[in-house]
Structures are given as C-alpha cells and as structure tokens.
Amino acid sequence: MDYRNGSLHIRPLEERDKYTLSRWLSDPKVLEFYEGRDRPFTLQMVEEKFLAQRGVVSCLVEHEGNEIGYLQYYQLDEETMNRYGYTNYDEVIFGTDQFIGEVAYWNQGVGTLLIRATMDYLLERKGVHRLVMDPMTWNTRAIRCYEKCGYSKARILREHELHEGKYHDSWLMEFIPE
C-alpha cells in the first residue's frame, strides 16, 4: 500500500522502520493499548512480528511528513471468519490493526483520518464486502474513533486477546458498505 489522502501518507513498512517501531513499542503509553506494558519490543521482536509477517500488509503512517503510526491489513482466512461468526466464505472481509505511536498526535483527529483513508483504500482497491476490527472492550477512545468512521459493534469476542498477562474481551466491530 502506498496511498496518499490529504495530509496522510500510508506507505509500505521498510527495514529501516524497525527502529521507529521499537521506540513506539517500548513506550508504556502506547503499550497500554497495543501489545501490553509487560512486553516492550526489542529490535528482534519487531523484526519477527512486523517485518516477517505473511498474509499481512504492514505499513508506516506519516502525517505531514512525520512518521506517526503503524497500520496493517489482511484478508480474513476461513479459520478467522469462523472464529468471528462469518460463514459466507465468498464474502471478502478484511481486518485492520493500527496504532498512533507518537503520543503527541493522540486526540488530534489523526486516528480518524487514518481509519477513513484505510477504509477508502480497501473499499476502492480490494473489492471488500466488510471491514472488521477487534479492539478490547475497554479501549473507549479507539471504539469512539471507529464508530465515528461508521463501524458498529457486532458482537463480543470473549477472552480474545492476551494483554498484560490476562485474556480480555474484545468487540468485533464491522463496517458494511451500502
């Protein structure tokens, strides 16, 4: 993905970005919402989790030329579709995960810009029938952002994500274009 939308540029993740990701994923404020404060990332962990993924498109997000966040998207496989309760395997469903790593950009509307740009890209270029995300139920800032962009809560995914040593419930949130 190499996509520009106004002040945002979403570009493919590169080897050199591992230093930026490692810095963000060592910040307790970021880790509180993404991966967990008990798991600060080393360079090796970043390489293994973000640079070696298969079936996932990993991107760095820039705002007005500044590196500010991470985005990944992927088409759901049948196993994930089953886990989420989807049984129409002809339906093209994509999931996304993202975070703003530069804390100074939190609560500035940049997350909303990122979600809308990602939605536009996936709907225009990938023939998507449905978009999904799975934020933990207590991540109210993210949930508000997603709802503002047109996502709705579909169902609770019980004990879906291991975060700081405990499994937490997540919302399965979806956007279905009209």
Q: Which residues pair with 102 in a beta bridge?
A: none
Q: Which pLDDT score, from 0 to 100, does residue 1 have? A: 86
Total of domains in the chain: 1
- Residue 153 scores a pLDDT above 90: yes
**Interstrand relation of 130-133 and 166-175 (parallel, antiparallel or unpaired):** antiparallel
Q: Which pLDDT score, from 0 to 100, does residue 178 have? A: 85
* Residue of 51, 39, 54 lying closest to 14 (CA atoms): 51
User: Is residue 51 one of the residues assigned to a domain?
Assistant: yes
Residue span of the structural domain in which 107 resides: 3-132
User: Is residue 142 one of the residues assigned to a domain?
Assistant: no
pTM over 0.75: yes
89 SS3 class: coil
pLDDT tens, residue by residue, 120-133: 999 999 999 999 99
User: Is residue 54 one of the residues assigned to a domain?
Assistant: yes
Supply the CATH number for residue 125's domain: 3.40.630.30
Q: Do 128 and 93 meet the contact criterion of CB atoms below 8 Å apart?
A: yes
User: Is residue 59 one of the residues assigned to a domain?
Assistant: yes
pLDDT tens, residue by residue, 75-129: 999 999 999 999 999 999 999 999 999 999 999 999 999 999 999 999 999 999 9
User: Is residue 80 one of the residues assigned to a domain?
Assistant: yes
* Residue of 167, 129, 141, 170 lying closest to 153 (CA atoms): 170
